Amino acid sequence: MDKNNQATHLKREILIKTIKAFLSDDFEENTRLIPFEMRPKGSEVPYRCCIYKEREILRNRIIATLGFPIENCDERILLSNYAKWAQEREKPDEHTLTVLESACKGCVPNRIFVTDLCQGCVARPCIENCKFGAISIVNGKSQIDSSKCKNCTKCIQVCPYHAIVKIIVPCENACPVDAISKDEQGHARIDFNKCISCGKCVSACPFGAIHEKSQIIDILTKIKQGKKVIAMIAPSVAGQLPCNIYQLKTALLKCGFADVIEVAQGADITAINEAKEFNERITGGDKFMTTSCCAGYNNLVDKHLNELSKFRSETKTPMYYTAEICRQNYPDAVSVFISPCVAKKSEAQQNPNVDYVMNYEELGALFVAHKIELSELKESKFDVESSKEGRNFGLTGGVAKSVEVADNGQTEVKPYLVNGINKESIRTLKNFAKKEECEFGNLIEVMCCEGGCVGGNACLNTVRTATKAINDFTKDSKPIV
């Protein structure tokens, strides 16, 4: 779904107000007042049946922004209490997503449906082309038996009146691994045993009912406590905000971070190590290798595509290597990875060198709350300048290209790009694993999001705009070798 929508604007408004409350003299009380300030008595009710329903949903969104799950929240507990507990928390909640039941529409199930446009024609191609006997004529019009329908969509394709449509539930339809289902009331539920934290459901839900549990208050609390907090900025951030990454470093320092490290520095290490591993595998007789940088893809292999694990690179991700550098340089510091997507939160939970994750939406809200004009800031250089290839890791094809450049002609690199994980690309990957061969190439780059990391659920810009910004920025960067 287009990021320029009311649900996204509402989420970002709440982020800004919550951060402003934290920066105020009374965080707990000012947090409690946010729903009433956003929907004061007598104001217009833009989305729901009444002002009280609006406030309830705003309250739940704030609870998620404070880092708590909504599913088991007690409506009798004041928001000020949640604000207090958020500052006392030492470790983020285990699961990265939560469902706001009060915001969930309770959509009808996915199904093929005959609309009133059906003319009951003589040809009846829908019946003739249904292999499952799911369509019959009732009162002169086609009717589908959902117990027999296999959702093959053949009837949709052949209807001359376009009278048959597929009704979809956006979150379920977006999930590539069927991790979302409906409970008895029709509300969304996430099966975390299946969930790969790709964030596609977050982007797809037009009600904003699936929400990340933010860690922004944890991070700001550490800064307020005087802890040395280090920001690690992912390569795709270069296309997200109205500034270059050197101005971004200045902005983060103004917000209280002690230092800022480019994750592209870790990407350079990943590229060099992955090129070496690729050479060893291909010369050793393997037919192909997949990259291992995308956290969503790694979750997919671990939970659903174990047969592909032996083909996945064992090289660590750019976040992993950057966090190592951070820990070596600042042994006692709090490390924060600044990320385009929710999947990196699941990866961070497995890495003792990464304490927290802040996404790009939270980053943008932080600067607004601090009243920082990014484009007016002076530049702050990095101690280590990353390569062009490392800075392009966030674009589809960027990882494969970096491996090819780092390989330096030792092995013939034939890239095959999986530009987004969906059910079709999963079937393709399963087929490669089954045949133990990829007829299209020998280096398979898998990006969970279309366009690469610039298509992550928490990105602020369109893929096209962000890609152009990164290409413009990296054109003068040094090569990796």
Name 457's Cβ contacts closer than 8 Å, sequence gap at least 6: 198, 199, 200, 202, 203, 212, 340, 341, 342, 449
Task: Inform me whether the pLDDT recorded for 420 exceeds 90.
Answer: yes
**DSSP string covering 18-41:** HHHHHHSS-HHHHHHTHHHHHS-T
| Mean pLDDT for the stretch of residues 297-301 | 97
465 contacts 239 by C-beta, under 8 angstroms: yes
Residue pointed to by tokens 């800075």: 391
Question: Which residue would you say has higher pLDDT here, 139 or 47?
Answer: 139
C-alpha separations of 278 from 78, 299, 412, 433 in Å: 55, 21, 10, 17
Task: Inform me whether the pLDDT recorded for 267 exceeds 70.
Answer: yes
CA distance 172 to 127: 28
Task: Inform me whether the pLDDT recorded for 144 exceeds 70.
Answer: yes
pLDDT digits (tens, 9 = 90+) for 325-369: 999 999 999 999 999 999 999 999 999 999 999 999 999 999 999
Count the residues in the chain: 481
Quick one: DSSP state of residue 316?
P
CA distance 104 to 210: 8
CA distance 202 to 205: 6
229 contacts 334 by C-beta, under 8 angstroms: yes
Task: Inform me whether the pLDDT recorded for 1 exceeds 70.
Answer: no
204 contacts 107 by C-beta, under 8 angstroms: no
Helix (H) or strand (E) holding 8: helix 6-23
Closest by Cα among 242, 447, 450, 269 to 360 = 242
Catalogue all structural domains in the chain, each as residue range(s) with its CATH number.
Answer: 6-104+175-214 (no CATH), 111-167 (3.30.70.20), 218-474 (3.40.950.10)
Q: Parallel, antiparallel, or unpaired: how do β-strands 259-262 and 229-233 relate?
A: parallel
CA distance 13 to 46: 15
Task: Inform me whether the pLDDT recorded for 108 exceeds 80.
Answer: no
| Mean pLDDT for the stretch of residues 236-251 | 96
This prediction has a pTM of 0.91
Name 472's Cβ contacts closer than 8 Å, sequence gap at least 6: none
